[in-house]
């Protein structure tokens, strides 16, 4: 198949590419820059110049593809709600280009959208449209496109990591470095799901080849790592004190990160593993945090 991939030069997208190429697919990657074009060509990918703000470039790329994988996202969390609404527009545009066909559209969301807020891990079968996270806009768009007849499949990401990047935790590391301590809320027993980036790359290929219309999958290797363990690893890596904060203190201290820290971030992967025959193999989150070079600034997402 010819696969149109948004976010092709990104952390996740760049790990999807070799999985697709190894499986014999042709990959067309969205990029906005000359350096991105060179990176994609070196990886064996045909560049498609455009941007997620340029909906016409997205429609053109999708119209010429047999399948679309959408991983691009603006990670400026200071404007999180606006960027989630942007994602809504992108998914709608991609879906319009695929209308009237059986070509799949794989959309990237977040496991927190499957949290029913009952204290249990998020489930693939749950969509909490009332979740206090703007990312629900992604799945509202995806489900609208699905209802219009497009073969939409959703992959929800947890904290995707290697020894260089760790999802939201990369921002937490920078915040701890700037504030002089690694904080957590209360006992730090809120849990965060995580997955190694190599396992996530394999999952996208599996969903393309073995997934089905309307299904949701969790890219989760570890269902729930206690946040105190994360804070301990970061404190040790930065040689900073570890500090417990009250919920009110955390709200003031963490800024936009307070939207996530202190709340349930655990997520099940049971249904996904059974449905796809996918098994996580990569290192765990704490192992990658312990292997991280804390002398380097976190790379841009």
Mean pLDDT of 165-176: 96
Using the predicted structure, report yes or no on whether residue 300 has a pLDDT greater than 80.
no
Q: How confident is the model at residue 296 (pLDDT cuts 50, 70, 90)?
A: confident
Q: How confident is the model at residue 78 (pLDDT cuts 50, 70, 90)?
A: confident
Mean pLDDT of 105-116: 95
pTM of the shown model? 0.95
Domain covering 2-158+196-220 in this structure, CATH number: 3.40.50.720
Least confident of 128-132, 143-147, 157-161, 212-216: 128-132
Using the predicted structure, report yes or no on whether residue 200 has a pLDDT greater than 70.
yes
Q: How confident is the model at residue 42 (pLDDT cuts 50, 70, 90)?
A: very high
Q: Measure the CA–CA gap between 25 and 17, rounded to whole angstroms.
A: 9
Using the predicted structure, report yes or no on whether residue 298 has a pLDDT greater than 70.
no
Q: Measure the CA–CA gap between 252 and 247, rounded to whole angstroms.
A: 9
Query: pLDDT tens across 171-187, in order?
Result: 999 999 999 999 999 99
Domain range list for the chain: 2-158+196-220, 161-193+223-290
Domain covering 161-193+223-290 in this structure, CATH number: 3.90.25.10
Query: pLDDT tens across 3-13, in order?
Result: 999 999 999 99
Please provide the average confidence, as pLDDT, over all residues in the chain.
95
pLDDT of residue 297: 65
């Amino acid at each position: 198949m010819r696969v149109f991939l948004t976010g092709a030069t990104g952390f996740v997208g760049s790990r999807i590419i070799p999985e697709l190429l190894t499986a014999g697919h042709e990959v067309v990657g969205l990029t906005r820059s000359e350096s991105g074009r060179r990176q994609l060509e070196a990886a064996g990918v045909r560049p498609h110049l455009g941007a997620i703000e340029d909906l016409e470039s997205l429609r053109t790329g999708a119209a010429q593809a047999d399948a679309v994988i959408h991983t691009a996202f603006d990670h400026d969390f200071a404007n999180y709600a606006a960027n989630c609404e942007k994602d809504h527009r992108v998914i709608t545009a991609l879906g319009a280009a695929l209308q009237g066909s059986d070509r799949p559209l794989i959309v990237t969301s977040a496991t927190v959208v499957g949290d029913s807020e009952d204290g249990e891990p998020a489930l693939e079968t749950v969509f909490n449209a009332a979740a206090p996270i703007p990312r629900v806009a992604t799945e509202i768009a995806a489900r609208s496109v699905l209802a219009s007849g497009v073969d939409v499949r959703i992959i929800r990401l947890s904290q995707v990591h290697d020894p260089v990047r760790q999802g939201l935790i990369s921002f937490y590391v920078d915040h701890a470095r700037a504030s002089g301590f690694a904080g957590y809320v209360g006992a730090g027993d809120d849990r965060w799901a995580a997955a190694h980036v190599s396992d996530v790359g394999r999952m996208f290929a599996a969903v393309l080849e073995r997934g089905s219309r309307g299904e949701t999958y969790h890219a989760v290797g570890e269902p729930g790592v206690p946040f105190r363990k994360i804070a301990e690893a970061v404190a040790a890596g930065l040689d900073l004190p570890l500090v417990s904060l009250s919920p009110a203190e955390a709200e003031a201290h963490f800024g936009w990160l307070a939207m996530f820290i202190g709340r349930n971030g655990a997520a099940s992967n049971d249904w996904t593993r059974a449905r796809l025959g996918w098994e996580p193999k990569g290192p765990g989150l704490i192992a990658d945090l312990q292997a991280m070079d804390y002398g380097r600034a976190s790379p841009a997402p």
